[in-house]
Amino acid sequence: AQTVTQSQPEMSVQEAETVTLSCTYDTSESNYYLFWYKQPPSRQMILVIRQEAYKQQNATENRFSVNFQKAAKSFSLKISDSQLGDTAMYFCAFMKREAWAGSYQLTFGKGTKLSVIP
């Protein structure tokens, strides 16, 4: 079974500054995906960024980027130029890349509550 650990229950950052959220995971799989989801106060789950384990290049989506360290099983999220709308819970998640076209289950961490301070 896979486990995902987010060691920072809460964090805060000043508007326009940069913040990094940590995530580590444990798996014996070699083929998998890692994700960061954002959950604002509206409760909607929003996919922020995705990383394929077989890719060495770190994924980037606008102000969001990851630092993927496969050997260390570490997957951190960096948010640059933080905005008030970034205030949310952030969840790190793991998905096995199955060889068959079955179902793809997500395993989530417990989340980090990020507050952006004006």
Partner 1 sequence: NAGVTQTPKFQVLKTGQSMTLQCAQDMNHNSMYWYRQDPGMGLRLIYYSASEGTTDKGEVPNGYNVSRLNKREFSLRLESAAPSQTSVYFCASSGTASYYEQYFGPGTRLTVT
Residues that bind partner 1 (CB under 8 A): 4, 9, 33, 42-45, 47, 50, 91, 95, 97, 101-111
Closest CA to 80 of 17, 22, 26: 17
> Least distance from C-beta 117 to partner 1, angstroms?
23
- Of 28 and 43, nearer to partner 1 (C-beta) is 43
> Least distance from C-beta 7 to partner 1, angstroms?
13
- Of 56 and 100, nearer to partner 1 (C-beta) is 100
φ, ψ at 110 (rounded to 5°): -85, -10
Largest CA distance in the chain: 48
- Of 101 and 118, nearer to partner 1 (C-beta) is 101
